[in-house]
């Protein structure tokens, strides 16, 4: 187990290093001089930034300085908003993104799983057909469509929920549901086919032959085996939770990490873009790593191999 973790950890560090390098050189390939400071920046600040980030030095030296800073935990600073570091920005925006992301996954999984199970139990009947169609359609509708529809319907027409900005948890309800829609469709479909698969298995016949009631068969035998594939899908899903959802944040005006990225892009704040990108990637990769290690804990076959 320890060997497995160590191996994955080394892999992790390597990947982070490569990502940071790749991103740095990509960003420096932007035409024009992306890291040139505004002309009206006071000299004192200019000097400070030059010293810290070597902005007046050639690319390769800047690279080394940048990597060195990364190791110290300095991901850079915003060029447009004086004094705001990438780390600060992330610290203020990530929790909000995480809430929306996590909420989207939890709501999606919960509702999706329930619908999928009920559909499988009513296989061939009307409810089943509705769920199948809804699931396929749901997967095909981009989440920004859901987002805008929700805004109009719940915000304007019914006027029950706030649709823009973030002044309290209530403001997160609609974004979470918009983020959840595709998850609901995905998990409903997955659970339905998983249940149907399991219900056809021989051991379900054995359970029935023991005289168990339909309820017992479902709860004690069918369900547990149907939920197995769910666990394997969690990994990628969880990894995406923290990085937030750009589009949903923009539409609902949620000040999350995705929104910060959009602002940086639109404001041509390249230092921030670079810093956020690397931060994003780091978080994603670390999440994958944690999930991998957890798999090792949960599945004894991996531990032993």
User: Residue numbers of the site for other proteins (CB under 8 A)?
Assistant: 11, 14-15, 18-19, 22-23, 26-27, 29-31, 124, 136-137, 139-142, 144-145, 148, 151-152, 156, 201-203, 205-213, 216, 220-221, 224-225, 228, 240, 243, 246-247, 250-251, 261-262, 265-266, 273, 277, 280-281, 284-285, 288
Rounded to a whole number of angstroms, the minimum distance from the CB of residue 267 to other proteins is 10
Rounded to a whole number of angstroms, the minimum distance from the CB of residue 134 to other proteins is 12
Q: Which is nearer to other proteins, 11 or 51 (CB)?
A: 11
Q: Which is nearer to other proteins, 50 or 206 (CB)?
A: 206
Q: Which is nearer to other proteins, 266 or 305 (CB)?
A: 266
Give the C-alpha separation, 81 to 41, whole Å: 11
CB 105 within 8 A of CB 184: no
Residues facing residue 77 across a β-bridge = 85
Rounded to a whole number of angstroms, the minimum distance from the CB of residue 2 to other proteins is 22
DSSP string, 213-240: -HHHIIIIIIHHHHHHHHHHHHHHHHHH
Rounded to a whole number of angstroms, the minimum distance from the CB of residue 43 to other proteins is 29
Q: Which is nearer to other proteins, 23 or 172 (CB)?
A: 23
Give the C-alpha separation, 32 to 26, whole Å: 13
- Cα atoms found within 13 Å of the Cα of residue 169, Cβ hemisphere only: 3
Q: Which is nearer to other proteins, 160 or 169 (CB)?
A: 160
Rounded to a whole number of angstroms, the minimum distance from the CB of residue 127 to other proteins is 15
Q: Which is nearer to other proteins, 13 or 169 (CB)?
A: 13
CA distances from 107 to 100, 262, 284 (A): 10, 26, 21
Rounded to a whole number of angstroms, the minimum distance from the CB of residue 278 to other proteins is 9
Q: Which two tokens stand for residue 188?
A: 């409903």
Q: Which is nearer to other proteins, 143 or 296 (CB)?
A: 143
Q: What's the angle, vertex CA 17, arms to CA 16 and CA 21, rounded to 5?
A: 115
Within a 10 A sphere around the Cβ of 195, how many other Cβ atoms? 24
Q: Which residues of 78-115 are buried (b: 16+ CB within 10 A; e: fewer)?
A: bbeeeebbbeebbeebbebbbbbbebbbebbbebbbeb
Rounded to a whole number of angstroms, the minimum distance from the CB of residue 208 to other proteins is 6
């Amino acid at each position: 187990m320890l060997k497995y973790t160590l191996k994955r950890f080394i892999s992790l560090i390597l990947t982070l290093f490569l990502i940071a390098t790749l991103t740095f050189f990509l960003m420096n390939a932007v035409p024009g001089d992306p890291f040139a400071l505004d002309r009206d920046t006071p000299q004192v600040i200019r000097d400070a930034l030059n010293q810290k980030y070597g902005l007046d030095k050639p690319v390769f030296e800047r690279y080394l300085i940048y990597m060195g800073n990364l190791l110290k935990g300095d991901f850079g600073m915003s060029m447009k908003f004086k004094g705001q570091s990438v780390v600060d920005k992330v610290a203020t925006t990530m929790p909000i993104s995480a809430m929306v992301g996590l909420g989207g996954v939890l709501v999606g999984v919960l509702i999706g799983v329930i619908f999928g199970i009920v559909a499988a139990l009513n296989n061939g009947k009307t409810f089943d057909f509705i769920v199948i169609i809804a699931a396929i359609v749901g997967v095909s509708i981009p989440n920004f469509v859901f987002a805008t529809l929700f805004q109009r319907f719940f915000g304007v027409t019914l006027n029950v929920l706030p649709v823009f900005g973030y002044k309290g948890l209530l403001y997160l309800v609609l974004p979470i549901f918009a983020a959840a829609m595709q998850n609901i469709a995905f998990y409903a479909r997955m659970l339905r086919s998983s249940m149907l698969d399991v219900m056809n298995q021989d051991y379900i016949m054995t359970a029935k032959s023991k005289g168990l009631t339909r309820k017992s068969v479902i709860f004690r035998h069918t369900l547990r085996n149907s939920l197995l594939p769910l666990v394997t899908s969690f990994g990628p899903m969880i990894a995406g939770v923290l990085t937030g959802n750009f589009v949903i944040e923009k539409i609902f005006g949620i000040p999350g990490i995705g929104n910060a990225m959009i602002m940086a892009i639109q404001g041509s704040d390249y230092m921030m873009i670079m810093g956020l990108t690397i931060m994003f990637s780091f978080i994603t990769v670390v999440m994958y790593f944690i999930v991998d290690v957890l798999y090792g804990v949960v599945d004894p076959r991996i531990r032993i191999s």
